[in-house]
Amino acid sequence: MNQQELIPHLFRTEFRKITAVLCKLFGIEHIEIAEDLASETFLTALETWTYKGIPQNPTAWLYSVAKNKARNYITRNNIFEGKIAKQIRSSPLETEEIEIDLSEQNITDSQLQMLFAICHPAIPTEAQIGLALRILCGFGIDEIANAFLTNKENINKRLFRAREKLRTEKVEIGFPSKTEINKRLEAVLTTLYLLFSEGYYSESNDTVLREDLCQEAMRLISLLIENEQTNLPNVNALYSLMCFHASRFEARKNENGEIILYQDQDETLWNKELITKGIYHLNLSSHGNKISKYHLEASIAYWHTIKADTKEKWEAILQLYNQLLQIEYSPVAALNRTFVLSKANSKKEAIIEAEKLNLTSNHFYFVLLGELYTGVDNVKAKQNFQQALVLAKTNTDKQTIQKKIDNLLHH
C-alpha cells in the first residue's frame, strides 16, 4: 500500500481509537481537543512520511506521536485543573510518565464507553449518529454531510450542539451502571440500526460510503457482543439482522450500480458465511423472555435467505410482520407487510390493504401499488409507477421504476 492509500486507510481505522482513548483521558468536556490531537497526529504523519518514507510499523508510530502530543498538551496547558492535574501533582512523576494507554483492551473499552456517552438521552438521535460517525467511525465532515444529504455547515452546527450538550450534562465516559446500561442500550442500538440503514439504503449515491457505514455499524455492535455486560439477546438479534442484510450486498447491484430487486438476485452471490453467522446470533438471541423488534426483523431477514417461493415461507413472514406491527408500528413495515400478503394470499387482498395506508409522499408506496396492479389492472399499474417516478430521489430508483414502466408497455 503506498502512502496515498495508507494514510486515509489508517485515518479510517486509527483516528477513532486515538480520539476515544484521549477523550476518556481528558474528559468529555475536552472532546474537541482529543479530536484535534488525533488530527494533528495524522498531519505529522503526512509531513514526515513524505520525506522519510513509511515507518516499519505505521500504527505504532502513530500511537507514539499521539502520546507525545497529548503529553506536550498537558504540560503546556493548565486547563486540566481536574483529575489529570491532580494526578500529576499528587505524584512526583514527570509528565513523560503520564499513562496514555493505547492497548487493544483500553481502545475497545474507550470506544464502547464513548458509544454510551454519545447516546445520552439529552442528545437528539441525528446528532448521536453524527457524533458516532465522527468520533467512533473516523468519518470526515464531508462524508457525514453526504450520508445525511446536507451541507458541512449543518453538520458542524449539529456536532457542536451535541458536544455542548455532553459538556453541560457533564456526561461521564465510563460504563454506565447496570440499570443505566439498560436504559441507554436502546438508544445505542437505535443509533447503530440507523447507521446500518443509512448505508443499506442511502439516498446519497456514494456507493463506497454506503458499505462502509454498514461495516462500521457491524464493527461497533460486535464490540457490544464481546463485552459481557452488553452481550444481550436484543444486541445479538440486531447483529443477526445486519449479517443477513449484509450477506446480499454482492447481489444487490449490477455493474452499472443499479439496484437488483430481491426476486431477481443471483443467490450464488449471497455470502454464506454471513448467513451462517446471522443464524448463529439469531439462535443466541432466543435466550431471555423479551421479543424486540430486532428479533422479528432478523427472523424476517432469515426467511429471505431462503430463495424458495413457497406459501409456507410467505405465511411465516406474514405472521412475523403482524407481530412486528403490534410491537412497533412503522409505515415502512406496514408497506412491506402488504407485499408479503400478496404472496401469502392474493394481490387483490393486498391492494385493499395497501390503499388503506395512503402513503402518498413515499415513492415505495406507488412502486408497491404498481407491482400489485401489474397483471390485475395494467393501466392502474402504469399510473402508480409514473407517480413513483415523480417522487423518486435517486437515479438508481428512477432507473428501476422506468424499467418497470417499459416492461408494462411491452406486455
Of all residues in the chain, the percent with pLDDT exceeding 90 is: 59
Closest CA to 115 of 25, 29, 224, 193: 224
pTM score? 0.84
Cα-Cα-Cα-Cα torsion 132, 12, 34, 76, nearest 10 degrees, comes to -170
> DSSP character for 262?
G
Cell, residue 182: 439498560
Cell, residue 72: 506536550
Is 80 exceeded by the pLDDT of residue 31?
Answer: yes
**What's the average model confidence in pLDDT over 198-215?**
72
**Taking a C-beta distance cutoff of 8 angstroms, is the pair 7, 46 a contact?**
yes
* Greatest CA separation for the chain: 86
SS3 label, residue 253: strand
Digit-coded pLDDT (tens) for 128-157:
888 988 888 888 888 888 777 789 999 999
Amino acid (one-letter) located at 247: S
SS3 label, residue 404: helix
Digit-coded pLDDT (tens) for 254-273:
887 777 878 888 999 999 99
Per-residue confidence (pLDDT) for residue 93, from 0 to 100: 40
Cell, residue 380: 392502474
Alpha carbons 229 and 177: distance in angstroms, whole number? 10
Alpha carbons 259 and 34: distance in angstroms, whole number? 40
> DSSP character for 259?
B
Share the mean pLDDT of the chain.
Answer: 88
**Taking a C-beta distance cutoff of 8 angstroms, is the pair 113, 174 a contact?**
yes
Burial of 96 (0-12, 13-18, 19+ CB in 10 A): exposed
Per-residue confidence (pLDDT) for residue 261, from 0 to 100: 76
- What is the total residue count of the chain? 411
**Taking a C-beta distance cutoff of 8 angstroms, is the pair 15, 140 a contact?**
no
Task: Tell me the Ramachandran region of residue 330: left when phi exceeds 0, alpha when psi lies from -120 to 50, beta otherwise.
Answer: beta
Digit-coded pLDDT (tens) for 41-75:
999 999 999 999 999 999 999 999 999 999 999 88
Of all residues in the chain, the percent with pLDDT exceeding 70 is: 93
Instruction: Give the count of beta carbons closer than 10 Å to the beta carbon of residue 142.
Output: 13
Q: Rg of the chain over CA atoms, in angstroms?
A: 24
Backbone angles phi, psi at 121, to 5 degrees: -60, -20
**What's the average model confidence in pLDDT over 244-249?**
94
Burial of 371 (0-12, 13-18, 19+ CB in 10 A): buried
Cα-Cα-Cα-Cα torsion 392, 397, 398, 404, nearest 10 degrees, comes to -110
Digit-coded pLDDT (tens) for 78-115:
655 555 555 554 444 444 557 789 999 999 999 999 99
**Taking a C-beta distance cutoff of 8 angstroms, is the pair 245, 307 a contact?**
no
Per-residue confidence (pLDDT) for residue 139, from 0 to 100: 84
Q: Measuring CA to CA, how many Å separate 103 from each of 36, 63, 69, 88, 345?
A: 21, 10, 17, 21, 57
**What's the average model confidence in pLDDT over 346-352?**
96
Digit-coded pLDDT (tens) for 383-411:
999 999 999 988 878 888 999 999 988 86
* pLDDT winner (highest mean) among 169-173, 181-185, 255-259, 323-327: 323-327
Per-residue confidence (pLDDT) for residue 231, from 0 to 100: 94
CATH superfamily of 314-411: Tetratricopeptide repeat domain (1.25.40.10)
Per-residue confidence (pLDDT) for residue 206, from 0 to 100: 58
Domain ranges of the chain: 1-102, 314-411
Per-residue confidence (pLDDT) for residue 274, from 0 to 100: 97
**Taking a C-beta distance cutoff of 8 angstroms, is the pair 16, 134 a contact?**
no
